[in-house]
Amino acid sequence: MKTGSKQRKSQSKAFLIKRHPTRKIAVGAVKIGGNAPISIQTMTKTPTRDIRATVKQILELEQIGCDIIRVAVPDMEAARAISPIRRKIHIPLIADIHFDHRLALAAIAGGADGLRLNPGNIGSKLKIKEVVQAAKEKNLPIRIGVNSGSLEKDILAKHGAATAQALVESALRHARILEDLGHRAIKISVKASDVPRTIEAYRLLSKATDYPLHLGVTEAGTLLNGAVRSSVALGILLAEGIGDTIRVSLSDAPANEVRVGREILGGLGLRADGPRVIACPTCGRAQMNVIKLAHTIEKQLGKLEKENPQTRIWPTVAVMGCVVNGPGEARDADIAVVCGKNKVFLYIDGVRTAVLEAKSAPAIVAEQVLAFCARQSG
């Protein structure tokens, strides 16, 4: 019987997702579109002008798998901070610009790897042309980011509301501005704050263009609500082959945005995931605090992943609450612990190998995870 990581590989091969064909662009060293892996983005939540805090946050995000980082550039002080921030980080940096073309020019000069802006809202055609020329000279991509709360007045009047059709019309209008100036290193997002409109907008857009698409639900909400809404919308679209890069927008720490994004991609077999903890929901048969044990083991494995970023193959670890169903449910895991009364039974590849004290279980599981990884790399 296949177990754990082997079973996941088999399942991901069985569930093949045919990606919607898009042109490939580059954001720094990260390729987006075409057959490139789907990348995870987030946005810093520090004031960009606070260089030290912003760099610290980005370096922490790098450690947990963030591929691209975006920073807000609301004023010239923030634009001038791009250069020192860029020198101290290791992933591509995108400058988020609204209204003032001078901020875009300063961000480009400071070493930004790309821009997020809507060309129609940064002034005259001459100003737009100036930004496009500067971006073209450095081969920088521009993301057109249309949100349901920022549509043009004439498009809102035409459609009567921020419908999916209105979002797509706005995005294509902005794209044409760049195309007319000879710039085609473009990616597009059309984000609504609810799942149905988001899905409909991206489905329409994917039929209308071959530019790479940046997926997201705007203003998705706090951790639980936002993670659920984002997972539903992005999961459906990605399973349909739509989307080339994602950002999960949460009213929470950016690290959690990256973690949720990784879980979405990992769950669909679109990204190699880290150590995977599965756990039973517990019931009246449980004779110890299984939930606490699962959280402790998950935290321990998260630390291991951070300390071993080069590791590519991680095990599935199961935490089960009783000896009635636990051994059978844990059989497909690489490593499993099944809780009894004051004891924890350790299983490796479906075979019981030891009886542990509950307090020692997390450390021993961590040892077994490292041993698994060493075997895989050897």
Amino acid at 211: Y
The string of pLDDT tens digits covering residues 66-106 is 999 999 999 999 999 999 999 999 999 999 998 899 999 99
Q: Which single residue is written with the structure tokens 């501005």?
A: 177
Joined together, the tokens standing for residue 110 give 């400071």
Helix (H, G, I), strand (E, B) or coil at 334: coil
Question: What's the mean pLDDT when you consider all of the chain?
Answer: 88
- What pLDDT shows up at residue 173? 92
pLDDT at 275: 77
Locate the DSSP E strands across the chain: 25-27, 30-32, 39-43, 68-72, 93-96, 114-116, 142-147, 186-191, 214-215, 245-247, 276-279, 316-320, 335-339, 344-348, 351-356
pLDDT of residue 2: 44
pLDDT at 27: 96
**Given pLDDT bands bounded at 50, 70 and 90, which one contains residue 113?**
very high
Percent of the chain exceeding pLDDT 90 equals 53
Predicted confidence at residue 14, as pLDDT, reads: 43
Ordered domains of the chain (ranges, CATH)? 4-12+21-267 (3.20.20.20), 276-377 (3.30.413.10)
Q: b/e for 214-230, b at 16 or more Cβ within 10 A?
A: bbbbbbbbeeeebbebb
146-205 pLDDT tens trace? 988 878 889 999 999 999 999 999 999 999 989 999 999 999 999 998 999 999 999 999
Which residues, 6 or more positions from 82, have their beta carbon under 8 angstroms from its beta carbon?
A: 48, 71, 73, 93, 95, 106, 107, 110, 111, 112
DSSP 120: G
**Quick one: pLDDT at residue 169?**
95
Amino acid letter, residue 198: T
CA distance 145 to 130: 20
| Angle of helix 101-109 versus helix 125-137 axis, rounded to 10 | 10
pLDDT in tens, 304-318: 877 877 777 788 888
Calculate helix-pair angle for 76-88, 51-63, nearest 10 degrees: 40
Q: Which has more confidence, 33 or 363?
A: 33
Looking at residue 170, its pLDDT comes to 93
pLDDT at 22: 95
Give the amino acid at 26: A
The per-residue pLDDT for range 272-304, each reduced to its tens digit, is 667 788 888 877 777 788 888 888 888 888 888
- Is 50 exceeded by the pLDDT of residue 12? no
pLDDT tens, residue by residue, 336-366: 888 888 788 888 888 888 888 878 888 888 8
Q: What is the mean pLDDT of residues 362-378?
A: 83
Give SS3 for 344: strand
Confidence of residue 65 (pLDDT cuts 50, 70, 90): confident
- Looking at residue 7, its pLDDT comes to 52
Q: What is the pLDDT of residues 247-275, one digit of tens each?
A: 999 999 999 999 999 989 988 888 766 77
Question: Is residue 4 very low, low, confident or very high in pLDDT (cuts 50, 70, 90)?
Answer: low
Whole-structure pTM value: 0.85
More confident residue, 315 or 331: 315
Q: What angle do CA 160, 161, 167 make, to 5 degrees?
A: 115
104 in Cβ contact with 115 (< 8 Å)? yes
